[in-house]
């Protein structure tokens, strides 16, 4: 099973601590050796780094660790290839434009016999079921809201309905962001934690590193971290119930609703 990581916060924040532990799952503490990627929003723009090497051996991963990019929304993925060859075009996160905004997407799971009727606006570049699902999500958004970006409740309803259709084909854990909100859909395994005042210490599961967030945060900071499996062993993580789509804004879960 692939590994997902997301971060949503109310002030630009670096993801170095979480990524240090997360990247160990790419060939170190876990078997996911078939590539990895991470995408950051910076204003309306985004940086997207992908590599077919295991995250534990990737010079690009080392660059990300050493260069603390600060962002309000981050999505990362470690791949264990099941559909599609080990190539850059099959490596998450995937990025597309809709309504004048970049959208970033990463998926964990397998969709069996999934061949969606995609039109001309959104087409996959690679071979994965994940990229096809992303294209279908965006196609449904554009078709149902031809006037442009809808309200957040309407956006959430459309994503819920489409996620339910896609999940009928298998496991559909995903993280999606348009730079303002981050959407996390739990199908089999996805958890999150919200860090806010009063902050404390956090210790990574995959590497013996502890951070005292009281030393690196302010009282107004709010950070939500989403991961396939909890990244720390001394904090309480919340499991996203299967078939639930959670919207995060400013570091907090804003809307949570079943997609079934």
103 with 96: CB under 8 angstroms? yes
Query: Helices H, strands E: what count in the chain?
Result: 4, 15
Rounded to the nearest 10 degrees, the angle between the axes of helix 59-66 and helix 16-23 is 160
What are the angstrom distances between the C-alpha of 40 and each of 65, 120, 222? 13, 27, 17
Q: Which residue has the tokens 């780094």?
A: 49
Rounded CA gap, 258 and 244, in Å? Answer: 4
- Considering the candidates 2, 9, 46, 135, report the single residue annotated as catalytic: 2
Rounded CA gap, 5 and 7, in Å? Answer: 7
Rounded CA gap, 18 and 3, in Å? Answer: 13
Return the bridge partners of 176, or none. Answer: 105, 183
2 is catalytic: yes
105 with 93: CB under 8 angstroms? yes
What are the angstrom distances between the C-alpha of 183 and each of 5, 40, 85, 89, 160? 12, 15, 27, 23, 10
76 with 106: CB under 8 angstroms? yes
127 with 148: CB under 8 angstroms? no
Q: What positions carry a catalytic annotation?
A: 2
């Amino acid at each position: 099973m692939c590994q997902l990581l997301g971060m949503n916060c109310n002030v630009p924040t670096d993801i170095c601590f979480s990524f240090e532990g997360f990247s160990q799952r790419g060939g170190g503490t876990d078997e996911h050796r078939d590539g990895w990627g991470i995408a950051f929003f910076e204003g309306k723009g985004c940086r997207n780094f992908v590599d077919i090497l295991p995250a534990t051996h990737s010079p690009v991963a080392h660059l990300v660790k050493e260069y603390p990019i600060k962002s309000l929304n981050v999505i990362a993925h470690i791949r264990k290839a099941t559909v599609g060859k080990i190539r850059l075009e099959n490596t998450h996160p995937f990025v597309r434009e809709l309504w004048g905004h970049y959208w970033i997407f990463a998926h964990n799971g397998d969709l069996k016999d999934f061949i969606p009727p995609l039109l001309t606006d959104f087409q996959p570049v690679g071979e994965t079921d994940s990229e096809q699902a992303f294209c279908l999500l965006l196609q449904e958004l554009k078709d149902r809201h031809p006037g442009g970006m809808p309200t957040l409740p309407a956006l959430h309803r459309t994503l819920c309905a489409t996620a339910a259709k896609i999940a009928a084909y298998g496991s559909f854990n995903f993280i999606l962001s348009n730079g303002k909100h981050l959407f996390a859909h739990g199908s089999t395994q996805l958890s999150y934690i919200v860090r806010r005042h009063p902050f404390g210490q956090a210790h990574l599961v995959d590497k013996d590193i502890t951070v005292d967030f009281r030393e690196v945060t302010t009282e107004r900071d709010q950070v939500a971290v989403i991961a396939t499996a909890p990244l720390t062993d001394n904090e309480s993580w919340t499991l996203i119930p299967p078939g639930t789509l959670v919207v995060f804004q400013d570091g907090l879960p804003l809307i949570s609703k079943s997609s079934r």
